[in-house]
Chains A and B, each alone.
Chain A
């Protein structure tokens, strides 16, 4: 069995790559492999915007990531600087930047690029989407 780290670089809506990443992650876990973390970088951080509100009959990718976390306890980590630039903030960044609102919450977390690097170091294989 192997350990993957999955990097998601694309927006959840308007680009199919995030869905591909989710399907890959699900299949890897179902096959008995482990995932160190799913790391959201570049436009991938938009996956973690809690305000994403697809219509009720559409696939909710954010919810799918959350369910994957609930089932397998995999970490879902944002690059904080990529997130801030794209308007994705947790309560902590909202406080630091003196804004009234935030749109990212657990199980998604904020981290630095260092977490991507250390994840790559610990994993057998990096897959970017």
Chain B
């Protein structure tokens, strides 16, 4: 039960790919914030993430004009982020 936090886009960082190596599809979740949310526009990335529970930071998505593109992904505000971090045993910030 781990919440994996991804803050940087895979274009600049190994964070997402490293995380995907170890994240468990059944029990973990992945929360994308900051520029990491941009990669969800890419079909290839979405396909990789298809079997994982994915959340995105609502503020970061809205700030970038991506809300209408990412309707299928569950968005969380900061108080929901706080609650999620407590629901999982630990948070790994990649």
Direct contact of A and B (CB under 8 A): yes
Spell out A's residues near B (CB within 8 Å): 2, 4, 16-17, 20, 23-24, 26-28, 30-31, 33, 124-129
- Closest residue to B80 on the A side, CB-wise? A27
CA distance A124 to B7 in the complex (A): 22
Q: Is A2's CB under 8 angstroms from B86's CB?
A: yes
CA distance A50 to B35 in the complex (A): 27
Q: Is B86's CB under 8 angstroms from A27's CB?
A: no
Given contacts A20-B33, A126-B90, 11 further A-B contacts (CB under 8 A): A16-B35, A16-B60, A24-B81, A27-B77, A30-B79, A31-B79, A31-B83, A125-B85, A127-B85, A127-B91, A128-B5
Known contacts A125-B91, A127-B91; decide if A20 and B57 are in contact (CB<8 Å). yes
Contacting residues, chain B, for A23 (C-beta < 8 A): 59, 78
Q: Is B93's CB under 8 angstroms from A31's CB?
A: no
Q: Is A26's CB under 8 angstroms from B78's CB?
A: yes
Asked if B82 is at the interface (CB within 8 A of a chain A CB), the reply is yes
Q: Tell me the residues in window 56-94 of chain B with beta carbons closer than 8 Å to chain A beta carbons.
A: 57, 59-60, 77-79, 81-83, 85-86, 90-91, 93
A-B complex: 8 closest residue pairs judged by Cβ atoms = A27-B78, A128-B93, A16-B34, A27-B79, A28-B82, A23-B78, A27-B82, A17-B7
Q: Is A27's CB under 8 angstroms from B81's CB?
A: yes
Q: How far is the CB of B35 from chain A (nearest CB, A)?
A: 7
Q: Is B93's CB under 8 angstroms from A33's CB?
A: no
Contacting residues, chain A, for B78 (C-beta < 8 A): 23-24, 26-27
Counting residue pairs across A and B whose Cβ atoms lie within 8 Å, the total is: 47
Q: Is A31's CB under 8 angstroms from B82's CB?
A: yes
Fill in one digit per residue for B4-28: 1 if any A CB lies within 8 Å of its CB, else 0: 0101000000000000000000000
Contacting residues, chain B, for A2 (C-beta < 8 A): 86
Q: Is A129's CB under 8 angstroms from B85's CB?
A: no
Q: How far is the CB of B78 from chain A (nearest CB, A)?
A: 4
CA distance A16 to B82 in the complex (A): 18
CA distance A55 to B82 in the complex (A): 31
- Closest residue to A27 on the B side, CB-wise? B78
